[in-house]
Amino acid sequence: MIVDSDKNILSHTLYSQIPEMQKFGGVVPELAARAHILAIDKIVKQALNDATLTLSDIDIIAGVAGPGLIGGVIVGWEFAMGLAQSTNKQLIAVNHLEAHALIPRLTNNIEFPYLLLLASGGHTQILIVRGARQYELLGETLDDSAGEAFDKAAKMLGLGYPGGPAIEEHAIGGDPSAYQFPRPLCNQDNCNFSFSGIKTAARTILNKEAEQINIKNFCASFQQSVIDCIINRLSNAIACTPEIKTLVIAGGVAANLAIRSAMEKLATDNDMKFAAPELKLCTDNGVMAAWAGIENYKIGNIMTEPVAPRPRWPL
């Protein structure tokens, strides 16, 4: 995960714990942290080898200091601090959410400001991104995030983890109007989200029709309800920010092609550009942390005092 200031990705080394965590139906924090410890040194060495570089060629080290499951955050951040201290290099403390928020500037070469749907982990937010460390929150989820809703619905159906890709795959060819799901908050004049009601409706439908359920139609209907909520909320955001001409999605949910397609149409309908990272950079990855480090370095945001790892770190 090495990036240069000319927006070249010199290496992208990724270690996924999904195969190990699927047997548990989700992430087990302690096991995830232990796996981080075992893998991180090998991953860094592989990244350097892939880029045919050594540590002496690296100018800046960036590490995610939060937010997230604190065990994994501690492992990564402590490793980054140790690496920086042992090589006498400058260190950038990266906010995980900001890394998602800024990665489209690397992959799509977009300019500030832009309107962003950030859907990552437990977060679903609409933000105006005016620059690194310059964010204006327009709306956020009041309960579950979009990603959590997908995961929980998939778990109800026995489709495994992670839930988003499973729901999307089973929705292909399904009838999005076959089952009636609510569209929470879509009659309200704000930009907030609520997905808990959609999750509850999924449980109710499955309890009533467990034997007769059509999984493809169910997934298509569930996914469409989430899409409709996202588009409705974004429409309100666009209406109150007419000066912004770029619409962006980032975070794990950005890998959902149906959501990307709906947002692209919304952008076209409003004479806006649309941008999304390539699929492999939507989920958590080191490239986005490296790029966020470069963006922060450019504005002088270099660590000069100790930074503690944070389970919560709002933008």
- The whole-number pLDDT of residue 27 equals 81
Contact 67, 310 (CB under 8 A): yes
Q: In the predicted model, what is the mean pLDDT of residues 97-116?
A: 97
Q: Are residues 152 and 125 part of one domain?
A: yes
pLDDT beyond 80 at 192: yes
For residue 198, the one-letter residue type is I
Q: Among 225, 233, 203, which Cα is nearest to 141's?
A: 233
The dihedral sign for the CA sequence 296, 301, 302, 306:
negative
Which percentage of the chain shows pLDDT scores above 70?
A: 100
Q: In the predicted model, what is the mean pLDDT of residues 11-20?
A: 83
pLDDT, tens only, 25-68: 778 888 888 988 999 999 999 999 999 999 999 999 999 999 99
Spatial separation of the C-alpha atoms in residues 247 and 295, rounded to whole Å: 20
pLDDT beyond 90 at 71: yes
Stretch (H or E) spanning 232: helix 215-239
Cis peptide before 162 (omega within 30 of 0): yes
pLDDT beyond 90 at 256: yes
Split at pLDDT 50, 70, 90, the class of 21 is: confident
Contact 184, 195 (CB under 8 A): yes
Count CA atoms closer than 13 A to 45's CA, side-chain side.
5
Which percentage of the chain shows pLDDT scores above 90?
A: 87
pLDDT beyond 90 at 16: no
For residue 172, the one-letter residue type is I
- The whole-number pLDDT of residue 9 equals 97
Contact 264, 30 (CB under 8 A): no
For every residue of 79-137, DSSP letters joined together read: HHHHHHHHHT-EEEEEEHHHHHHHHHHHHS---S-EEEEEEETTEEEEEEEEETTEEEE
pLDDT beyond 80 at 19: no
Q: Are residues 272 and 289 part of one domain?
A: no
For residue 224, the one-letter residue type is Q
| Top-confidence residue, 309 or 32 | 309
Q: Are residues 33 and 9 part of one domain?
A: yes
pLDDT, tens only, 130-186: 999 999 999 999 999 999 999 999 999 999 888 999 999 999 999 999 999 999 999
- For residue 71, being part of any structural domain is answered with yes
| Top-confidence residue, 13 or 276 | 276
| Top-confidence residue, 166 or 20 | 166
Listed in order, strand segments (DSSP E) in the chain are: 2-3, 9-11, 60-66, 90-95, 114-120, 123-131, 134-140, 246-250, 273-275
pLDDT, the chain, mean:
95
The rounded Cα 82 to chain-centroid distance in angstroms is 27
Structural domain range at position 120: 111-276
- For residue 104, being part of any structural domain is answered with no
Q: Are residues 245 and 128 part of one domain?
A: yes
Contact 50, 89 (CB under 8 A): no
Q: Are residues 116 and 239 part of one domain?
A: yes
Number of structural domains the chain divides into: 2
User: Which two three-digit tokens encode residue 263?
Assistant: 């947002």
Q: Are residues 126 and 83 part of one domain?
A: no
Q: Are residues 238 and 115 part of one domain?
A: yes
Q: Are residues 293 and 185 part of one domain?
A: no
- CATH number of the domain at 159, please: 3.30.420.40
pLDDT, tens only, 261-273: 999 999 999 999 9
Q: Are residues 212 and 85 part of one domain?
A: no
